[in-house]
């Protein structure tokens, strides 16, 4: 890891009053959770629209549910990793910290992050497409038959995640935009930066004069807006950076 770049990122974070972060699947990769794109990714050999879209759900709700239940089963054993824990520590170290995540696994909250905007929903929640019931938490694989039925209208319940072509949860993008607009330092961690409107947050932050710091082993679509780009894993880089911020704020 480029230690000089990590030191510059840590020193900027230590001096900042308002910090925001945008995270993606790469933050959970070290918890054993598959990413979407790249080798072994969930979309490898699949078209996401075939499994993560309203059209797919209308065509075959059971297939879509089996996919999400398989993902939930894989997630059931996942625990927060050093990256999640470092971001939760950072929230305690800076005066104002906002975490915007594209992840639906709930691991940021489990690691102790409190101010989390889940842009793409949460895989542990289910809801009725007809709005009969509010979101209900289903943290265990659902009993057969799939899909589970709405207790009121008996129609198929759906995962509480945002699918391709759908609107984000009410208020989520507004909160995320405020976080990007107000940030002095904007962290971009573990995302390929190809899905909108999440990716636009980094450009918005940069346009408002924030120092954008990217942490990713690979170059991404957002590397061009990063003033500091660390080619490293999130756990290693964030742990080292937050250790230095903690030292500086003592």
* Catalytic (active-site) positions: 120
122/192 with CB nearer ligand APR: 192
CB nearer to ligand APR: pick between 10 and 189: 189
Q: What angle do CA 47, 52, 54 make, to 5 degrees?
A: 120
Interacting residues with ligand APR between 198 and 217 (CB under 6 A): 215-217
**Pairing status of strand 185-189 against strand 158-161:** unpaired
The sheet that has 228-230: what strands, in order across it? 116-118, 96-101, 18-23, 185-189, 211-215, 228-230
Contacts with ligand APR, 214-243, as mask; x by CB under 6 A: -xxxx-x------------xx---------
Backbone φ and ψ of 45, nearest 5°: 75, 5
Distance CA 248, CA 214 (A): 21
Q: Interaction with ligand APR in 101-140: which residues (CB under 6 A)? A: 102, 120
Q: Which is nearer to ligand APR, 35 or 61 (CB)?
A: 35
Which DSSP helix (H) or strand (E) runs through 137? strand 136-137
Of residues 2-41, which lie at the interface with ligand APR (CB under 6 A)?
24-26, 29-30, 35-38, 41
Q: Which residue is nearest to ligand APR (CB)?
A: 26
Q: Nearer Cβ to ligand APR, position 6 or 150? A: 6
Contact between residue 214 and residue 241 where contact means Cβ atoms under 8 Å apart? no
Q: Which of 20, 113, 192, 229 binds ligand APR (CB under 6 A)?
A: 192
Yes or no: say if 119 and 176 are a contact pair by the CB < 8 Å rule: yes
Using CB under 6 A, count the residues that bind ligand APR: 24
Both tokens of residue 219? 């170059």
Minimum Å gap between C-beta 24 and ligand APR is 3
Report the nearest approach of ligand APR to the CB of residue 30 (Å). Answer: 5
Percentage helix, strand, coil for the chain under 3-state DSSP, each rounded to 5: 40, 15, 45
Contact set for ligand APR, span 35-94 (CB under 6 A)? 35-38, 41, 48
Q: Which residues contact 209 (CB under 8 A, 6 or more apart)?
A: none
Least CB distance to ligand APR at residue 233 (A): 4
| R_g over Cα of the chain | 18
Q: Which is nearer to ligand APR, 88 or 150 (CB)?
A: 88
The residue ranges that bind ligand APR (CB under 6 A) are 24-26, 29-30, 35-38, 41, 48, 102, 120, 190-192, 195, 215-218, 220, 233-234
């Amino acid at each position: 890891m480029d230690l000089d770049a990590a030191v510059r990122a840590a020193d900027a974070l230590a001096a900042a009053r308002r910090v925001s972060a945008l995270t993606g699947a790469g933050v959970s990769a070290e918890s054993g959770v598959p990413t979407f794109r790249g080798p072994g990714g969930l979309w490898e050999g699949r078209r996401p629209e075939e499994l993560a879209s309203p059209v797919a759900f209308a065509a075959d709700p059971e297939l879509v549910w089996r996919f999400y239940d398989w993902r939930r089963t894989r997630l059931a054993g996942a625990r927060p990793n050093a990256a999640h824990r470092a971001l939760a520590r950072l929230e305690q170290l800076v005066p104002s910290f906002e975490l915007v995540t594209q992840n639906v696994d709930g691991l940021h909250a489990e690691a102790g992050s409190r101010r989390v905007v889940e842009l793409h929903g949460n895989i542990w929640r289910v809801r009725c497409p007809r709005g009969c019931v509010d979101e209900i938490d289903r943290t265990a694989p659902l009993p057969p038959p799939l899909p589970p039925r709405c207790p009121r209208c008996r129609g198929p319940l759906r995962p509480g995640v945002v699918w391709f072509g759908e609107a984000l949860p009410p208020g989520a993008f507004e909160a995320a935009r405020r976080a990007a607009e107000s940030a002095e330092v904007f962290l971009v961690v573990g995302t390929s930066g190809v899905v909108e409107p999440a990716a636009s947050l980094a450009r918005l932050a940069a346009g408002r004069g924030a120092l954008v710091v990217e942490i990713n082993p690979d170059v991404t679509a957002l590397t061009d807006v990063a003033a500091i780009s660390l080619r490293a894993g999130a756990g290693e880089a964030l742990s080292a950076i937050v250790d230095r911020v903690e030292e500086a704020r003592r």
